[in-house]
A and B are shown apart, each in its own frame.
Chain A
Amino acid sequence: MSDHSEHHIVPLKVYFLVFSALMILLFVTVGVAMVNLGPFNIYVAMSIAIIKAVLVVLYFMHVRYSTKLTMVVAAAGFLWLVFLLGITILDYTSRSWIPGSYQ
């Protein structure tokens, strides 16, 4: 029984590695923003932000070491966000009478 109530203690090294990765990605995102990639700047910036968020969720928020139920609940929240943003943006960009949409 006692084994099961012990919590997973993440080694210090992991925390410092994740922190270093977050700092490096921060400077990468600032650096990339200075380069003109046209419409791709936003995709690069958001991809880096998503990688950073996943690192924080998995390691700092311990989801990687949590129960399956916690993983499913956490994933559901972000999946919902993808639905909200994705479907609404598809709708807005496909209406030709709205400025900024694709004709």
Chain B
Amino acid sequence: MSDAAHNSLVAHQFDDARQQQEAATVGMWTFLITEIMFFGGLILAYMIYRNQFAESFHAASRVLDVWVGCFNTCVLLVSSLTMALGVRAAQMGDRKKLVLFIIVTMIFGAAFLGVKAYEYSEKFEHHLVPGPTFHFHGVPGHEHAPNAEIFFSLYFAMTGVHALHMIVGLGLMTWLLRKSIKGAFNKDYYNPVEICGLYWHFVDIVWIFLYPLLYLIDRS
């Protein structure tokens, strides 16, 4: 038996830590494929309706604030960077830095949700939430959008499900933070940090696509 097999951090079904880590990574990517399918379906619905109701989508997209969305993209990209640095700290066995980076990642994740909540409340105020009270005014020069409600249905479905993933991500971070403080991770064992990192970056990628699709349709 190899030395690694005697390490209590390696579960008995694995030959060594390396094999255990690969199994965890491939397992997480398999889950992420189901997530690609999930968001892929929404993006497909979006593409079909945007193709059919191009004029409405152009006018409706102009109602969204480009700069608020841009700011939120920055916030999310920074959180991805701090997450990556957190994983790196875990790889190097630096517990203090790992805890610090998890906290910073959580702050940026929460900031993203805060901005999203502000955007949603604005939509409620302006009657842009699909339903009986929906009423589309548009911006000057772009008032005509008979199918704007479809755009906003997709807007809320896509950003809503994304925000839900952010909330789940914050839950994972809370768990990770607790374990990190307790000293559960070291140079030889940090799989949960790596795996939660993969999830966090994936949610970031989803937003990288949602931002141009929803906010940047027609700004010229």
The answer to whether B220 touches A41 (Cβ under 8 A) is yes
Q: B91 on the interface (CB 8 Å rule)?
A: yes
Can you name the residue of chain A whose Cβ is closest to the Cβ of B16? A5
Docked-complex contact A29 and B212, CB < 8 angstroms: yes
**B17 at the binding interface (Cβ < 8 Å):** yes
Query: How many interface contacts (CB-CB < 8 Å) are there between A and B?
Result: 150
Interface of A is mostly: helix
Within A1-52, which residues are at the interface with B (CB < 8 Å)? 1-2, 4-5, 7, 9-10, 12, 15-16, 19, 22-23, 26-27, 29-30, 33-37, 41-42, 45-46, 48-49, 52
From residue 70 to 103 of chain A, which have CB atoms closer than 8 A to chain B?
Answer: 70, 73-74, 76-78, 80-81, 84-85, 88-89, 92-93, 98-101
Contact B80 A12 (CB under 8 A): no
A80 adjacent to B37 (CB under 8 Å): yes
- Would you call B116 an interface residue if the criterion is a C-beta within 8 Å of the partner chain's C-beta atoms? no
CB-nearest residue of chain A to B34: A77
Q: Which residues of B contact A67 (CB under 8 A)?
A: 22, 25
Interface size class of B (residues with CB under 8 A): 35 or more
Could you tell me the distance in whole angstroms from the C-beta of B104 to the nearest C-beta in chain A? 14
Interface residue range, chain A? 35 or more
Instruction: Please tell me if B88 contacts chain A, counting CB pairs below 8 Å.
Output: yes
The chain B residues found within 8 Å of chain A, CB to CB, are: 2-4, 16-18, 21-22, 25-26, 29-30, 32-33, 36-37, 40-41, 43-44, 47-48, 51-54, 66, 70, 73-74, 77-78, 80-81, 83-85, 87-88, 91-92, 188, 194, 197-198, 201-202, 204-205, 208-209, 211-213, 216-220
